[in-house]
């Protein structure tokens, strides 16, 4: 079999670009007549060229006599070769800037605020998944007794990430002993990277506790639980603007809406969207998204105040790619400036 490599010429590129961009705006199949003005030739010529693009798999028809719609491959070709970078409007920049200028937010709050602004600017749903980075080092552990049987255990890292958990202790354990032990634990573990805290607790701390306290199992359990909770619950997930999906005309039938919104409410599904990858800004179109064939996901990674993770924007396949990429570009620039 003879294999022919068909190259797209300039006019075809231009045509594909127009089709994609028109479709993004109009959300309805694009016919040849509509493009005469833009491409400067007759509808018949455009039809011929369209036939080529269709043959190449960049555009599709819904039925034999309908206008053309970009295929996933078409969108991909568009974002890789045709899309022109876009500047954010002054208004949108301003919104981001106000976020960037606030220095007193916790990481989690900053990220959530960020998602809100992104959703607001783009009109798409935004998601983040972050976890403490390995840079985090134990800064302080603190036991605060509340009454004879209840206490709060606080863990704080040098990056300022704090978690607390409440415990009920058995009545035969002396609260002051727990506090005393906490001071020892504190002294010994401060400066330890989170990744080895569990280990050190087991091998260095446990023997000491067992010498000092009678009910050492129970007391050790508190510290074990507190750290375990801290280390294993280290994922921080946010989804903002779920209802933005509802504004997209392609999700106009209720079954489709239900499917999408329910998925977005299901954390295990959302995790599928936000997975680490090392590229700068990456675009996953339709089936590439690993989440739903009818959406596009655009992701970027962040590293901020001891937390690292991914921010994703999720919208229809006919997403305004240029704007979304512009937003994430700005974000990236800011994160690099702040980061470590």
Partner DNA sequence: TTTAGCACCCATTAGCCTTAAGTGCTAATA
Partner DNA sequence: TATTAGCACTTAAGGCTAATGGGTGCTAAA
150 contributes a contact to a copy of itself by CB under 8 A? yes
**Footprint (CB under 8 A) of a copy of itself, residues 233-252:** 241-243, 246-247, 252
Q: Which residue has the tokens 């489709």?
A: 256
The residue among 39 and 156 lying less far from a copy of itself, judged by its C-beta, is 156
**Footprint (CB under 8 A) of a copy of itself, residues 162-221:** 162, 164-168
The residue among 101 and 254 lying less far from DNA, judged by its C-beta, is 254
Identify the H or E element spanning 139.
strand 138-145
Spatial contact of 32 and 50, defined as CB atoms under 8 Å apart: yes
Binding partner selected for residue 31 from DNA, a copy of itself, none, CB under the kind-specific 5 to 8 Å limit? DNA
Least distance between a copy of itself and beta carbon 226 (Å): 10
Least distance between a copy of itself and beta carbon 169 (Å): 10
Strand duo 150-157 + 295-304: pairing: unpaired
Cβ count near 266 (within 10 Å): 11
Least distance between a copy of itself and beta carbon 274 (Å): 19
Q: Which residue has the tokens 């606080």?
A: 154
Identify the H or E element spanning 160.
none
Least distance between DNA and beta carbon 43 (Å): 6
Binding partner selected for residue 146 from DNA, a copy of itself, none, CB under the kind-specific 5 to 8 Å limit? a copy of itself
Least distance between DNA and beta carbon 110 (Å): 44
Task: Supply 190's token pair.
Answer: 């401060």
Least distance between a copy of itself and beta carbon 44 (Å): 39
Strand partners, 164: 154
Distances (CA, A) of 327 to 150, 197, 206, 243, 314: 47, 38, 50, 20, 13
The residue among 65 and 254 lying less far from DNA, judged by its C-beta, is 65
Q: What is the DSSP string of 216-247?
A: HHHHHHHHHHHHHHHHHT-EEEEEE-GGGGGG
| C-alpha span between 114 and 229 (Å, rounded) | 26
144 contributes a contact to a copy of itself by CB under 8 A? yes
**Footprint (CB under 8 A) of a copy of itself, residues 121-140:** 139-140
Binding partner selected for residue 190 from a copy of itself, DNA, none, CB under the kind-specific 5 to 8 Å limit? none
Q: Which residues bind DNA (CB under 7 A)?
A: 29-34, 41-45, 47-48, 50-51, 54, 61-68
98 contributes a contact to a copy of itself by CB under 8 A? no
Rg (CA), the chain: 27
């Amino acid at each position: 079999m003879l294999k022919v490599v068909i190259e797209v010429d300039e006019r075809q590129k231009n045509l594909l670009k127009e089709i994609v961009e028109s479709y993004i705006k109009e959300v309805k199949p694009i016919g040849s007549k509509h493009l005469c003005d833009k491409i400067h030739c007759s509808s018949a010529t455009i039809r011929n060229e369209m036939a080529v693009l269709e043959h190449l798999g960049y555009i599709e028809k819904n039925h034999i006599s309908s206008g053309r719609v970009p295929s996933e491959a078409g969108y991909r070709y568009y974002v890789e070769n045709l899309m022109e970078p876009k500047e954010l409007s002054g208004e949108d920049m301003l919104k981001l800037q106000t976020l960037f200028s606030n220095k007193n937010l916790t990481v989690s709050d900053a990220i959530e605020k960020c998602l809100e602004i992104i959703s607001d600017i783009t009109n798409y749903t935004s998601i983040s998944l972050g976890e403490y980075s390995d840079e985090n080092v134990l800064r302080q552990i603190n036991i605060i007794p509340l009454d004879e049987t209840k206490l709060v255990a606080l863990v704080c890292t040098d990056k300022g990430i704090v978690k607390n958990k409440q415990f009920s202790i058995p009545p035969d354990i002396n609260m002051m002993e727990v506090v005393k032990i906490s001071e020892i634990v504190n002294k010994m573990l401060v400066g330890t990277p989170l990744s080895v805290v569990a280990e050190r607790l087991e091998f260095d701390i446990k023997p000491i506790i067992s010498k000092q306290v009678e009910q050492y199992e129970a007391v050790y359990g508190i510290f074990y639980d507190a750290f375990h909770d801290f280390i294993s619950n280290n994922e921080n997930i946010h989804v903002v603007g779920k209802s933005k999906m509802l504004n997209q005309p392609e999700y106009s039938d209720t079954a489709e809406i239900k499917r999408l919104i329910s998925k977005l409410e299901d954390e295990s599904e959302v995790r599928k969207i936000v997975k680490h990858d090392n590229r700068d800004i990456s675009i996953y179109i339709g089936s590439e998204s690993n989440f739903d064939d009818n959406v596009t996901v655009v992701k970027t990674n962040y590293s901020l105040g001891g937390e690292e993770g991914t921010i994703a924007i999720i919208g229809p396949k006919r997403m305004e790619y240029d704007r979304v990429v512009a937003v994430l570009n700005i974000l990236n620039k800011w994160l690099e400036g702040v980061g470590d």
